[in-house]
Structure 1
Amino acid sequence: MSVSEEAAAAASECYAKDLGLYLPEEIPGWGRGAEAAVWLLLSQLVFEVARRFIDEAEIPSADLEELVGNSLSGFKVPEVVRVERLGGGLNVVELFHGATLAFKDLALQVVSALLHYFLKTSGQHVTILVGTSGDTGSAAIEGVRGRGNMDIVVLLPKGYCTAIQELQMTTVLEDNVHVYCVDGTSDALDLPIKQCFADGQLVESHSLISINSINWGRIMVQVAHFFHLYFQLCEDLGQPVQVVIPTGACGNITAGCIAQRMGLPITLVAGVNTNNIVARTLDTGDFSVEGNVMPSLAPAMDIQMPYNVERLLFLYAKGDTGRVKKLMEEFESRGRVQIPKDVLEAMKKTVVGEPY
């Protein structure tokens, strides 16, 4: 497989051949002088982060810079992401200025453009399969709608999305967008979707992919959010900044952990609602499903099976894939696994949970 084929696979295949999730074998350091990076726009930071993971042979810099710039040009505020400074050292990072008002607009606009770039080069057509708790579906549709080399099929859990999210998904008229209401929660949807991706013949015959946070590209682009907010908020470079993240499937938390690995001095707090599996896991190492998903006013956080915990295990188990696979197999078979003490202690140095 060539370098460009590897990049296209990570951007499109989502699940690896063994049904694990893609992550780079090595996390590159930031390298660039922070003093200069402070003045970069968000689009420039996205380019700088992406350039560290995407080789020049995969996408030339001029193409990548144009792709990112165009992807982030349609937001409602010129800075794309706005930081609202409150009293007492508290600040709110506004990630809702995209077309669907979800923070996922930022990453999915870029990921959709990356996918389009690779497909245009190869002449292929793909079918994107997405299960959503609400905001992923809307943002994915917005990135994909009208693109000739891809169709998107979105499954939304009936009764578990807000009215506005359901309307955002079901009122799109482009021929390449197909939306279905289904029974069950977004967690319940993940199981048959993963079974679809486990069927190699089905995947091949329909060129099946996904662009929710299973997709490495989503995580990669979100890493830039943390560099942007850090440079906006730190008074002195090198000063630690704590970031509280509303948490569902742990995709944004994973991006923050990778940013920290790249040298950014941040600590992370996973904020959860009554579906508090992430907080329990980070507190005691008890990674277990407790009861059914409880609907809340924040449907994107209504998750009891946060699949990106697998990526966190990889990061903090020192890349021991055999160990991660064993833990995830136990979780998937029993609905419960105890995170080993050394892995949990390493994880807690970067991220803690804040229970409901």
Structure 2
Amino acid sequence: MRYISTRGEAPALGFEDVLLTGLATDGGLYVPESLPHFDLEEIRSWRGLSYSELAFNVMYPFVDDAIPADDFRKMLDETYSVFAHKAVAPLVQLDTNEWVMELFRGPTLAFKDFALQLLGRLLDYVLEKRKQHVVIMGATSGDTGSAAIEGCRRCEHVDIFILHPYQRVSEVQRRQMTTVQGENIHNIAVRGNFDDCQRMVKESFGNQSFLGGKTQLAAVNSINWARIMAQIVYYFHASLALGGPDRSMAFSVPTGNFGDIFAGYLAKKMGLPISQLVIATNRNDILHRFMSGNKYEQHQLEHTLSPSMDIMVSSNFERLLFDLHGRDGLAVKTLLENAAKGPVSIEDYRWKHARKLFDSDAVDDKATCDTIREIYEQNEYLLDPHTAIGVRAARNCRRDQVVPMITLGTAHPAKFPDAVAESGVSVEPPLPAHMADLFEREERYTVLDNNIDGVQAFIAKHWKNA
């Protein structure tokens, strides 16, 4: 399996190099040169497999000869053994043919655990083989940071620097990052928003001279292909649990950076019958505005009750644009350069194709709270604000009542008690037992100005072999 850049100018790489590289040298994102495809008979044969066995079947074609099959199986068994539910991604029924897939049963109570628990093990395996040390630099709007730290904190060959927007994540999200102790763990609170943090990460990958040539950066954000790869699996898991592949499924996906729903798009391309993919956004609705009106335009970022989706520059959208433009890297590069200067549109026939692939909706804070309250009153089931947006968008966009509609439950409601309280639900969601003392743990983080030179100087000074 070889991987190519969405901007067409970087060299093709194998899995190991893509794992460590993150962003391509031309500024693009890596995607597989070709996708594996499974016929219905093969997918049907996976019924009854454990989650880790299913994950092996779906993911191993992407890994191929980079890691022996037995070693990869062991990694997957270890990854999903730490989840708090035997089903790993259990399905909860809300209504007739309407479901939530709970992706928050991992150590940090968010869907990011599915990929980042695996990513930490992949990095340790490859870096040990290469006798190499790297610096992980990542940006988080709330959940990626804690999942990355939890997944990589035991890695012997990495230092971790996670940037989060100062005072713009929930207290639980912040404490999940800042209370993990370790000499190789560094949390940086940037006086800015998530897009500022993400921009610094991308610019740093483009020019790593601040590290003095002594090490290299590795990515944990969803620009890293390994994260997308791991997220494909739970679409197959949900389908098989509800009668697939002999019936089609619909999915609603709360998304800010487009990675999770892009994984669903890939699952469909790999042969899984999916009739509908719904992009569910909050007021920071650049993806919805593009899908509904063919206009990709950045607005002022707004702070909402769903902070993990407070993103205006959706990095993984570039991977979709690459496909929409016939995998023409130069066309993608030109489009994104123009997008940095102002609004852009794509050719009408390309946009109409995108509209066939995706529906979309934008859900404001009031509708988010209304949905949390309504679902609790109907089912005594508590949604976090991001999943509530997914449920509302699913109901607003649903095409066919006969097709099962599955909303991806992206986070545990205990991470967002303020949003739950604002919805009018009187129940305060308790933290799971392993996090019960979270508010008593010592925090450790550094607040820095929204300035890339200062952030890079901090990283250059504090990584282990600096």
Identify the TM-score tier after normalising by the shorter chain. over 0.9
2:278 is matched with which residue?
269
- What is the one-letter code of the residue matched to 1:39? G
| TM-superposed deviation, 1:335 | 3.9
2:138 corresponds to 1:125: no
Contact 1:146 1:176 in 2 (8 A): no
TM-score, L = length of structure 1: 0.94
1:336 is matched with which residue?
343
* Residue of structure 1 aligned with 2:257, choices 234, 244, 249: 249
2:117 is matched with which residue?
109
Contact 2:120 2:155 in 1 (8 A): no
Distance 1:85 1:18 in 2: 45
Offset from partner CA, 1:289-317 (integer Å, 9 cap, x none): 012x1111211111111111100111222
| TM-superposed deviation, 1:206 | 2.9
TM-score, L = length of structure 2: 0.73
| TM-superposed deviation, 1:200 | 4.3
1:259 is matched with which residue?
267
1:199 is matched with which residue?
207
Unaligned 5+ runs, structure 2: 4-12, 364-466
1:26-37 matched pairs, under 5 angstroms: 26-31=34-39, 33-37=42-46
- What is the one-letter code of the residue matched to 1:350? L
Q: Which moved more, 1:311-320 or 1:65-74?
A: 311-320
Contact 1:13 1:209 in 2 (8 A): yes
2:227 is matched with which residue?
218
2:359 is matched with which residue?
352
* Residue of structure 1 aligned with 2:307, choices 283, 286, 299: 299
2:172 is matched with which residue?
164
Distance 1:81 1:237 in 2: 18
Offset from partner CA, 1:139-173 (integer Å, 9 cap, x none): 00000112111110011111110000111111111
Query: What is the CA RMSD across the aligned residues, in angstroms?
Result: 1.7
- What is the one-letter code of the residue matched to 1:347? A
* Residue of structure 2 aligned with 1:286, choices 288, 292, 295: 295
2:160 corresponds to 1:135: no
Distance 2:16 2:229 in 1: 14
Distance 1:134 1:335 in 2: 28
Distance 2:194 2:45 in 1: 42
Residues 205/338 of structure 1: CA separation in 2 closer, same or farther (3 Å cut): farther
SS, match of residue 353 in structure 1:
strand
Offset from partner CA, 1:78-110 (integer Å, 9 cap, x none): 111110022221101000001111100111111
Unaligned 5+ runs, structure 1: none
Equivalent residue pairs, number: 351
Q: If you compute each CA radius of gyration, which structure gives the higher value, 1 or 2? A: 2
SS, match of residue 287 in structure 1:
coil
Offset from partner CA, 1:181-203 (integer Å, 9 cap, x none): 11100011122221111114346
Contact 1:313 1:343 in 2 (8 A): no
| TM-superposed deviation, 1:237 | 2.8
Contact 1:81 1:93 in 2 (8 A): yes
Contact 1:272 1:301 in 2 (8 A): yes
SS, match of residue 66 in structure 2:
coil
SS, match of residue 14 in structure 2:
helix
| TM-superposed deviation, 1:34 | 2.1
- What is the one-letter code of the residue matched to 1:147? C
Greater relative CO (CA pairs within 8 A, separation 6+)? 2
Distance 1:350 1:115 in 2: 33
- What is the one-letter code of the residue matched to 1:225? Y
Contact 1:120 1:149 in 2 (8 A): yes
